[in-house]
Structure 1
Amino acid sequence: MDVIVIGGGIVGVATAYQLRAAGHRVCVLERHATVAQGATYGHGGIVLPTPLDAWFGPAFLDARRGARSGVVYRPGLHSSARRFARQLALMQTSEAFRRQWLRLRPLVDLSREAIASIEAGFHLEFEQREGILQVMRDQREWDQAQCALELLREFEMHHHVLSAAQCADIEHSLPAEPPFAGGVLFERERTANCPLFTKLVKQVLDEQGEVQFLFGRAVDAIRLEGHRAAVELAPAEGERVRKREVDVMSCDAVVVAAGTGSVALLEQLGLPLPLHAVRMLSLTAPIAYEECAPHLTVVDSVRRVSMTRMNQRIRVAGAAVLQPERETAKPLPEPLAEAGTALLAQATHDWIPGAAKISAAHAWEGLRLLSPDGLPVVGATAHPRLFVNVGHGPAGWGLACGSAKVVADLISGAAPLVPPETLAALRVDRFAS
């Protein structure tokens, strides 16, 4: 089959890879000049989420608590952001959290297998590092994490619950003062360079053939017919277009994996999704003092701020900015940018003091789609030629590799390698009921 994938981030490139592996001919359309230039570019590096990383559940404080939850919350009056925060808060009960994690876990497992297969098959090096240390400041944070810890024990996920002293023994960058409650060590979980991985997979696809990449081409609309589909391309930059002249590409199937650009394309087709664009910030700073640099990734568990060494730099990522939808298309106001940057800088001061030269940091911001139930939107639609792969949120770029396999299986007419309960929880029409 001829398949068009809209979007050249980690989700789109992973989808193209799985489609190529299934024997399809693929064209990836990306509005930027190359892959991994949107939300993929500034990812914090955690490859796959554990229950402590999920953007739902008791360990994720209500966004309305503001900076104490790692969220810069500016919802406006009667706005979509306020409604979205209320919906996400419904996932904070232990029962709701457990239910959602059980649904998500098979996708995490499938993603782990998909990444391992790509990594081993092509001997890719993308700054992989093992070891993540989730740290918690006080007893209240420990109490909120108990449901996640119970899931770790139930499913025998390899981890160690540590006291503050044990954390400091393992990770020398952590300060002894002020005292903190302790942490959870995941020795086998990894961080890596997401944009580098995406570019390496794209390079593999270039060498294999059967996948075409068209850059600098945005999609204006999707056309759906009985046995075929097509996309209408926006004019390339600097290209003159006569009236009524539309650049159209036909195919057998379309996969929408365009991040925040997916919502408008699907709305045109009568598929409104209650996804919200959350602006994420990151700082990439040179190492200030080598003796202070962490050898593990340190994560402020409640505030969702990750601090990862990437060669001779530290990437500090998190500081979600939750705004009304109408504001996300505009540049981030300076006061909000300063608040988010201050939150990230404070995390480095609290947990890895002296490690990063924040004054010389490169700041980045990008939008990531998050669903009100915390799960991505993956799968088929009512039209047999249209598929969706969006809404993975900030926690774990590796999920894209598993969801790509699900989409490729569906397009190929094969049974996806996740249970029906997971497939149903990810489906596009789940918000209609």
Structure 2
Amino acid sequence: MDVIVIGGGIAGIATAYQLHAAGHRVCVVERYATVAQGATYGQGGALLPSPLDVWFGPTFMSSNRAKQNGMVVKTGFHSAVRDFLKQLAMLREPDAFAAQYALLEPLVALSRRTVAEIESALQLEFEQRRGMLHVFRHARELEEAQPAIDLLRQFKVPHRVLTPEECVAAEHSVPEYPEFAGGVLLPEDRTANCPLFTKQLKQVLEDGGVQFRMNRTVTALRLDDKRAAVELADPDASRNKRNENVELITADAVVVAAGAETPALVRKSTPWLYPLRMHTLTAPIAYEERAPHLTVVDSMKRITMTRVNQRLRVAGAGVFQSASKADKPLDASLARRALDVLGQGTHDWIPGAGRVSAARPWEGLRLFSADGLPAVGATRHPRVFVNAAHGPAGWGLACGSAKVVADLVSDVTPEVPEQTLAALSIERF
């Protein structure tokens, strides 16, 4: 089959890889001059989510204060954003959280196998780092995390609950003072350089004959029972709403993996898919002796701090605003507040590790769902599929989701249970 993949981020490139491996002819359309330039560029590094760092559950936004929950909320009078956050809050209840994570876990397991198969087949080096230490400031926070720790045990995820002294022994960059409650060590969990992985995979695909149409924006999908068509335009012309030089390409199927732009392309306007603005700081290592060798995660604030060669990458600080403001530059004061959250997290947990004053900031939109699960699989139209909304908690999910999508396009039963497939469907909204 001829398949068009819309999007050159990790989701689109991973999908193209799986489709190509299944024997399909693939064309990838990307609005930038190269791949991994949107949300993929700002990935914090965590490869796969654990129950401790999915963006839902008892410890996610358990406080209304940004200093405590790590998120900047400026909903104003916009009811849709408030409703979105209320929906997320329902998953703080331990039983609801456990049931939701149980739906996600088969995709996590498939994603782990899929990434391992790619690594084994291609022998890629993308700055992988093993070991994640989740730290908690107060005893109350550790108590709130207990449902997540129970799920680690239930799904046999290797982990150790550590005292503060054991945390300091495991990761020398964590300070003994001020005192904190303890942590959870996940010795097998990994971080890696997502943009580097994406670019390497793109090169493999290009060498294998996959087509890439760069600097092209998709303005519309034209669909019928026999064929799917995609309208392409120059990105600048698209922004100015001009229709000159529109190009039409056709295929047997289309996979939309366009991040925050996905709902509009598949005509799925829903308040349960939300463009969350995320932030990243990339700072040079300040003092080698203070640089962490494990990835340190402030679980309550969802701030991930990881070393990438001679750089320190700090990610998190989501900003919740009305969706109407998503395509506009973030107010300078809000951007400063978000970056301050990241800088403070670095100061609290790995002081002196990075030169934050010389850090390179990044901000961008990441599609996020009100139930914490990605949007993956078929749509109501038999020729359109989706791979999006993986959230900030692990880019490897896009790889497992790509395998699910490729199987569906190939009319093969995916390697996840039916209830998980239904829970991931964009039609659930």
**Contact 2:215/2:234 (<8 A) preserved:** no
Instruction: Tell me by how many angstroms 1:84 deviates.
Output: 1.1
Count of residue correspondences: 428
SS at match of 2:41: coil
- Structure 1 partner of 2:196: 196
Out of 350, 356, 381, the position equivalent to 1:352 is: 350
Q: Per-residue CA shift, 1:259-308, capped at 9, x if unaligned?
A: 011121122xx664630011110100011111110000000011000110
Q: Distance in 2 between matches of 1:316 and 1:280?
A: 11
Amino acid across the alignment from 1:185: L
SS at match of 1:41: helix
Instruction: Tell me by how many angstroms 1:378 deviates.
Output: 0.5
**Contact 1:52/1:145 (<8 A) preserved:** yes
Amino acid across the alignment from 1:75: T
Q: Distance in 2 between matches of 1:242 and 1:127?
A: 42
- Structure 1 partner of 2:329: 331
- Structure 2 partner of 1:231: 230
- Structure 1 partner of 2:388: 390
Change in 2 beyond 3 A, CA 1:5/1:243: closer
Instruction: Tell me by how many angstroms 1:244 deviates.
Output: 7.5
- Structure 1 partner of 2:288: 290
Q: Distance in 2 between matches of 1:125 and 1:259?
A: 25
Instruction: Tell me by how many angstroms 1:153 deviates.
Output: 1.0
Instruction: Tell me by how many angstroms 1:11 deviates.
Output: 0.2
Amino acid across the alignment from 2:131: G
Which is worse superposed, 128-137 or 230-239?
A: 230-239
SS at match of 2:40: coil
**Contact 2:291/2:354 (<8 A) preserved:** yes
- Structure 1 partner of 2:417: 419
Q: Per-residue CA shift, 1:302-351, capped at 9, x if unaligned?
A: 10001100001100110011111111111011111110111111011100
* Normalised TM-score (structure 1): 0.96
Change in 2 beyond 3 A, CA 1:63/1:28: farther
Asked whether 1:251 is paired with 2:251, we answer: yes
SS at match of 2:266: helix
Amino acid across the alignment from 1:229: A
Instruction: Tell me by how many angstroms 1:238 deviates.
Output: 7.7
**Contact 1:266/1:272 (<8 A) preserved:** no
SS at match of 1:36: coil
Q: Distance in 1 between matches of 2:200 and 2:76?
A: 41
Q: Distance in 2 between matches of 1:53 and 1:391?
A: 16
Asked whether 1:213 is paired with 2:222, we answer: no
- Structure 2 partner of 1:154: 154
- Structure 2 partner of 1:320: 318
**Contact 1:63/1:73 (<8 A) preserved:** no
Change in 2 beyond 3 A, CA 1:257/1:238: closer
SS at match of 1:76: coil
Give the CA RMSD over aligned residues. Answer: 1.7
Which is worse superposed, 131-140 or 53-62?
A: 53-62
Q: Distance in 2 between matches of 1:74 and 1:112?
A: 36
Instruction: Tell me by how many angstroms 1:63 deviates.
Output: 6.8
Change in 2 beyond 3 A, CA 1:345/1:19: same
- Structure 1 partner of 2:138: 138
Which is worse superposed, 406-415 or 81-90?
A: 81-90
- Structure 1 partner of 2:186: 186
Instruction: Tell me by how many angstroms 1:66 deviates.
Output: 2.6
Aligned 1:167-182 pairs, distance under 5 A: 167-182=167-182
- Structure 2 partner of 1:98: 98
Identity level (%) = 59
SS at match of 1:40: helix
Change in 2 beyond 3 A, CA 1:309/1:424: same
Aligned 1:2-17 pairs, distance under 5 A: 2-17=2-17
Q: Distance in 1 between matches of 2:346 and 2:287?
A: 13
Q: Distance in 2 between matches of 1:319 and 1:156?
A: 30
Amino acid across the alignment from 1:235: D
Instruction: Tell me by how many angstroms 1:235 deviates.
Output: 3.0
Q: Per-residue CA shift, 1:126-153, capped at 9, x if unaligned?
A: 0001010000011111111010011111
SS at match of 2:354: coil
SS at match of 1:387: strand
Change in 2 beyond 3 A, CA 1:10/1:315: same
